[in-house]
Amino acid sequence: MGIKIFLPLHFLFFFFYSAFSTRFTIINHCPYTIWPASLTSSGPQIITGFELASGASRAIDTAPNWSGRFWARFVCSNSDGKFSCKSGDCGSNQIECGGRGGIPPATLAEFTLRGADGKDFYDISLVDGFNLPVTIAPQDGGCPTISCPVDINNRACPKELSIYNTDGGVIGCKSACIAFNQPQYCCTGDFSTPDKCKPTYYSEIFKQQCPQSYTYAYDDPSSLFTCQRHPNYVITFCP
């Protein structure tokens, strides 16, 4: 008679989760501390905010079919028990954002795991503006690494889009939609279709600096990347 082995349900769940989950490793190459954050669109909630010192990294595991975004906050402080950041803040008054998105401008690393045709989809979005350079690197040689490696804040951001720190440094570059709230920049109203909403002077500034990134609502679909192999991903701020 064969020997039957019964495994506890929690062990089977852990095995399944480990075998099919995706690991995101967040790396901080900025010369200062940042506070990465996440917003889940679909799937179980993951950690929504944490502190990451310069040169440090942190791994986060997500369930299959997870979708959401990552961004980073900086120039942050904790005053009178309320945590806040001058760039990328989510308004939660805590290190964890708890389901709140980043206040523009913020560079977004966006993912849909095991989406259409079973593929992973990922992109870098500057649609609402830029605050930190970022790279997304799938840990599989068959899938492309994408990057917005340029500090647009200090290299190319027009004054009318700039967010300034108290020391005069630029810590964010708004999109024209966020800055001016006009239909031709936001792809709304008479400009709400791809044939009417075209690149603008301002979106082209972002595109010239970060050609792999989405820069307005109907930007080139080639800025959306796919991977069939479901790798782990490394997200590096200030690559």
- Sign for the CA dihedral angle at 206, 30, 172, 51 comes to positive
CATH number (domain holding residue 128): 2.60.110.10
Residue 8: what pLDDT?
Answer: 52
**Per residue, what are the HEC states of 126-162?**
CCCEECCCEEEEECCCCCCCEEECCCHHHHCCCHHHE
Average pLDDT, the chain: 92
105 cis-preceded (ω within 30 degrees of 0): yes
Residue 2 lies in a domain: no
The Cα-based distances of 202 to 2, 82, 156, 174, 221 in angstroms read 71, 35, 10, 10, 19
pTM of the shown model: 0.91
Alpha-carbon distance 173 to 165, whole Å?
A: 12
Alpha-carbon distance 159 to 153, whole Å?
A: 10
Q: Name which of 71, 61, 100 is nearest 237 in CA terms.
A: 71
**What is the identity of the amino acid at 88?**
G
Residue 99 lies in a domain: yes
Which token pair is 123? 């992109």
Residue 139 lies in a domain: yes
Mean pLDDT (whole number) for 206-232 = 95
Q: In which region does residue 158 sit, left (phi positive, over 0), alpha (psi from -120 to 50) or beta (all else)? A: beta
Render pLDDT for 97-140 as a digit per residue (tens, 0 to 9).
Answer: 999 999 999 999 999 999 988 999 999 999 999 999 999 999 98
Mean pLDDT (whole number) for 176-201 = 97
For a pLDDT cut of 90, what percent of the chain falls above it? 85
Residue 5 lies in a domain: no
Q: Is 17 strand, coil or helix?
A: helix
Alpha-carbon distance 27 to 202, whole Å?
A: 29
Q: Is 8 strand, coil or helix?
A: coil
Residue 126, domain extent: 12-237
Alpha-carbon distance 47 to 39, whole Å?
A: 9
Query: Looking at the predicted structure, is the pLDDT value of residue 15 above 50?
Result: no
Render pLDDT for 137-176 as a digit per residue (tens, 0 to 9).
Answer: 999 878 999 999 999 999 999 999 999 999 999 999 999 9
Which contiguous run of DSSP H or E holds residue 20? helix 9-20
Q: How many domains does the chain have?
A: 1
**What is the identity of the amino acid at 99?**
G
Query: Tell me, what DSSP letter sits at residue 168?
Result: S
Residue 6 lies in a domain: no
Mean pLDDT (whole number) for 217-226 = 94
Alpha-carbon distance 147 to 130, whole Å?
A: 13
Alpha-carbon distance 37 to 110, whole Å?
A: 12
